[in-house]
Every structure is written in C-alpha cells, then in structure tokens.
Structure 1
Amino acid sequence: MSGNQVEAVVFDYGGVLTGPVRASIAAWLRGDGIEPGSFSRTLKAWLSRDAPDGTPIHRLETGALSVEEFDALLAAELTTLDGRPVDPVGVLGRLFAGVRPDPAMFALARQLRDLGVRVGLLSNSWGNTYPRELIDGLFDPVVISAEVGLRKPLAAIYTLTLDRLGLPADRVLFVDDAEPHVLGARAVGMRAVWHTDADSTRAALAEVIPALPPAPHPGADLPHPHPPRS
C-alpha cells in the first residue's frame, strides 16, 4: 500500500476483533447435532453475493427482523443428524457461544490510538449485543448495522462511517474478515485489509503506519474474556 497518510483504521467486530467465528459455528453444529450441509445451504441462500435483497440475514443485519424471528426462520431451515427438530430458542446465542474478544487485536487498536491514529468500528450485527465496556472508550465512531439500518457491503454504510470520521476515503483503512466487505470498502475509495489473523493484519498496517510498534508481550494490558457477541 502507498499514497496518502492513513489517519484512521476502522475494524469489523466479529472475526476481526474476536477469534474466528467459524470455530464457534463448528462447535454449535456439533453440540446441536445439526447436519452441516443444511447450514451451509441456508447461509449461501441468504448471504451469498447473488442472494436476493431482503433475505432473513439482510433484515436481521439492518434491524428489520428480531433475533427471535430470525432464530425461528433459521431453525426451520436446518436438519439434524438424528432427525429431531432444531430448538429455535436461542439459536444465535448458541451459534456465537464460542466467540471471544481477541486480545491481540484490541492491543493493536490501542497502539494505533496511542500513535494518534483514529480507530473506529463498523460491524454487521446479527442481533447480539456488543461489549460496550470494551469498545465505547476505544473506538469512535462505532457504526452498528442494525442501529443505522444499513449493512455491508452496501456503499451507504461506508459513506456514513466516513462522514462520522470527517475524513476522505483514501485516508481511512478498513479491516474485515469477509472479502465482499473488503471489496465494498475499496469500491468507495477506502483502503482495506482482508483479515485472517492478528499477525498478518499488524504487518499490513505497519506497511502504511511505520511507527506502529511490535505486538506487546502476551498477557499485557489485555481485555478480559467476555460473553459471546456477534
């Protein structure tokens, strides 16, 4: 990456500031005895790039569908290995039960802020609450899809984030673990990093923010574990 100075880094939440969501999903599938293919097919139908507008996931992310309504719709699409119906109560809670904040990524965000780089959060919510005690004092702005009625990768939510930052797109770098969301950010002129792990993301940021120091010693100034969030 090259060009103008990066003045702000905006992070996704689930899968970026937390550990991988896929590990929690795998544990949920095993725990509930769900046939994995039924979940994969539903996810593709509701979230793939060619999915029609207004799928249950789209409506959940924009706040138009409640968690309880979504749980019921998702459970109805799933099959279990032994033929039992899927309990619709608390499906999303069980799906995200293994998700925890990633201390290395929170440390990275704090180091950026200490350097004078602004840090923000832009997340598609799946109905869960966020650990506000961890994010509100660190990230500004905090843009949650269900709170603003917009969702990634649509251009409007990136533009809203830029407006709240008051910065031009080429001065802002976005970090997300979903390729369509990375491409959506780039489409509005933002720089973007496709996150896979803390070390590679730190290295990518260090290319454009040379003053970024090495990762702190493990266990230093890290957030405490927190109940699952999206």
Structure 2
Amino acid sequence: MTSKPWILFDIGGVFALADDGVWQKRFSLGLRDLSGLDDDQFGACVDAADLPRIDIESDVETEYWSRLGDALGLDETTRHEVRAQFWDLYCGTPNEQLLSYARALPAPVGRAALSNSADGAREQEERRFGLSSVVDPIFYSHEIGVNKPALAAYEIALAGMGAGAADVLFIDDHQGSLDGAAQAGIRGILHTDNTTTIAAIEDFLATYG
C-alpha cells in the first residue's frame, strides 16, 4: 500500500460538464424523431436490437451502433451523425478550472479517476480533454465491468492505485456514488462548484497523515 494521498475524481459532471440526466433524454427523443417511429414502435425496435451493455463491456461500441442503426433503419451517413452527436452530448465541455487545478497538484499527490462510462469514452475524452495528463490511472466502468455505486468499483480503484481507503478523497457529483465510496471506507465530497471542491481537496491534503 502507498502512504501518499490520492484524489479520485469522477469525470462526467466534474471534469466534463454536461446536463446529466437531461442530454440522455434529449438524445433519445431526437433519435426517435429521426427514426419516424412512435414511442411504442421505437421502444420495441431498440429492445429487439439486443444492444450490448456499453456501460460495462469493452470493444462493443461498433457493434452497438451497428445494431441500433439496423434496428432503426438508419443509413450509413445518419449513423455517423448520430454517433457523433452522442459523443458531443456525452462529453459536454471541459471544466477548465478544475482540470488545470488537478493537473497542477504537486507530484506526491496521486490523481486518478473513477467514472461510469460508455465504451469509447477513453478515446473520446482523451481527444477532447487530454485526461491522461491530468489523472492516471483512469477506471472506466466499461473497462472494469462494474458501475458505481457498486462496492467492487471502489475496490478495483483502490487496488489499481495501490492505496488504502484512508489515503483517498473521492470527488463526485452524485450522492449515490459517494454513498458507495463510503461503504468502501473512502471519504468523499459532493461536487457542486469548483470553489467548494478545491477547498475540500486543500483541506484533505493539509490534514492528511
């Protein structure tokens, strides 16, 4: 076990700003309208597509969009447009202040991320945000096979960081994820704004050890 402090960040809603819970509905409604189907038909087609679990499976993104496109009768151009729109909405915009702060944390401080995700997120977020220069390692749910707030997600992160629960401060914008972290003995802070989060990190580091 390492004895250094670690800051474990969520990505969506923390490093990446998007209307979580809103953009998903907007995307789904737009896809339904694009397909020309009513609600029942659209739901039946999506169910029949038997889509892979892109949130807890790796190397299935291409299959996911292929099956969805086939189910909704989308041509190749439209499929590419829909896929691009999905990632634009998923990634949102960078939280530049918090990214810069995390990047500038002194070397003894470990910086990692634990995020519920979709297959393809690592590549998309690296291209847009350069996350590998900010946090390492990054634990994506589609790569570790489990979502927060399941206890296993935090146990995998602790093992990957080589850290004890007392060495870690977890930053997330969902209370449920913080509750899951608490089950693993990890203290957390609910991210509501950068000022409060940065102050919490500074306090953790000042009192660590």
Q: Report if TM-score (shorter chain) is over 0.5.
A: yes
1:49-198 mapped onto 2 (5 Å cutoff): 59-63=53-57, 66-67=60-61, 70=64, 89=79, 91=82, 93-98=84-89, 99-112=92-105, 114=106, 116-128=108-120, 129=123, 130-131=125-126, 134-198=130-194
Letter in structure 2 aligned against 1:89: R
Q: Does 1:12 align with 2:2?
A: no
Letter in 2 for 1:207: D
Look up the SS of the partner of 2:7 in the other structure: strand
Cα distance in 1 for partners of 2:172, 2:163 equals: 19
CA distance in 2, matches of 1:86, 1:176: 38
Cα 1:61–1:123 change in 2 (3 A) is: same
Q: Aligned-pair distance for 1:151?
A: 2.0
* Contact kept? 1:15, 1:177, Cα under 8 Å: yes
Instruction: State how far apart, in whole Å, the 2-side matches of 1:11 and 1:207 are.
Output: 16
Paired residue for 2:23? 25
C-alpha spacing 1:86/1:207, structure 2 compared with 1 (3 Å): farther
**Which whole-Å CA distance do the structure 2 matches of 1:194 and 1:69 have between them?**
35
8 Å contact kept, 1:120–1:139: yes
Give the helix-richer structure, 1 or 2: 2
What is the rounded CA distance, in whole Å, between the counterparts of 2:181 and 2:51 in structure 1?
A: 23
Task: State the TM-score, normalized to the length of structure 1.
Answer: 0.62
The answer on whether the counterparts of 2:151 and 2:180 sit within 8 Å (CA) in structure 1 is yes
Unaligned runs of 5+ in 1: 43-54, 76-84, 212-230
Tell me, in whole angstroms, the C-alpha distance in 2 between the residues paired with 1:120 and 1:183. Answer: 19
Q: Which residue identity does 1:119 align to in structure 2?
A: R
For residue 133 of structure 2, give the secondary structure of its aligned residue in structure 1: coil
* Partner SS, residue 153 of structure 1: coil
Cα distance between partner residues in 1 of 2:4 and 2:187:
9
- In the alignment, structure 2 segments of 5+ residues that lack a partner are 34-38, 44-49
Structure 1 residues 171, 126: CA separation in 2 closer, same or farther (over 3 Å shift)?
same
Distance 2:156 2:25 in 1: 35
Shift of 1:68: 5.2
Q: What is the distance in 1 between the residues matched to 2:86 and 2:55? A: 16
Q: Percent identity?
A: 26
Please give the TM-score of this superposition, normalised by the length of structure 2.
Answer: 0.68
